[in-house]
Amino acid sequence: MAAVFERGAGAGIPGRWHRWAAIALVVVGALRIAGTYPELSETVDEVAHVGAGMEWLARGQYTFELQHPPLARIAAATGPYLIGIRSQGQSSMWSEGRHVLYADNAYVRNLTAARLGILPFFFIASFFVWRLGRLAFGPREALGAVACFTMLPPILAHYGVATTDGPMLAMFAATVYAGVRWLEVPNVRHGAALGAAAALALASKFSAVPYLGVTAVLMFGTWLWATRGHSVAARVDSAAGARTFG
């Protein structure tokens, strides 16, 4: 982890072919995810998320359930909404979501549309895995990280269903990257990016709070540990200068 703040020798090496290889891995991962859409029926959670998201999109309100924030649910309902499905006038998110998925007697089409709303978050997560790996270590290590990420069965599984976990993970990765950049160069631009990424993570799923909290403590502690030598060197130089000109 300290390598994030004290970069290794490979961090500045250009790696264009590594980038294209990473893109290919992400595309293959996305195709593998999309290939599961017609094979797997909806999960219980998908029904609820699609129903709650459709309430927000079609009715302009969010009252079915406040256990989860709306961002991921809106993404899950965006596909069905774009193909013309609207609120089914039901009184619960479970009934609403099931009626949305079975609308027009096109179950597979509607479920695929809902799951496609989550797929962009897979690309976002992969992008920030690449960026963080390249920033910390270099293009070879970043490529390895993307390869592992896009081949992990739990990752492919979560991004293959219309739930809140995939979007939260993508925004979590964005927040970690933005946090590293802010620790390195604490300016307004990096601070705004960090705030925006953290807000999107919280808007995806409330369980982002403990994950981000623990990660922030670990990142700050690592930054203090990695930069302690620079502080000591600065004090030594200052003391030497005082003796020289004192």
Query: 170-198 pLDDT, tens per residue?
Result: 999 999 999 999 999 999 999 999 999 99
Per-residue pLDDT at 232: 43
Q: State the average pLDDT over residues 49-59.
A: 97
CA-CA distance, 170 to 126, in Å (whole number)?
8
Residue 115 CB-density burial (10 A; 0-12 exposed, 13-18 middle, 19+ buried):
buried
The answer on pLDDT for 6 being more than 50 is yes
**Nearest CA among 55, 26, 68, 67 for reference residue 159:** 26
Across 19-125, where does the E strand assignment appear? none
Count other Cβ atoms within 10 Å, centred on residue 98: 19
Copy the structure tokens of residue 47.
């029904």
* pLDDT top residue among 236 and 19: 19
CA-CA distance, 162 to 43, in Å (whole number)?
9
The answer on pLDDT for 116 being more than 50 is yes
177's CB contacts (< 8 A; 6+ apart) are 128, 131, 132, 135, 197
pTM: 0.88
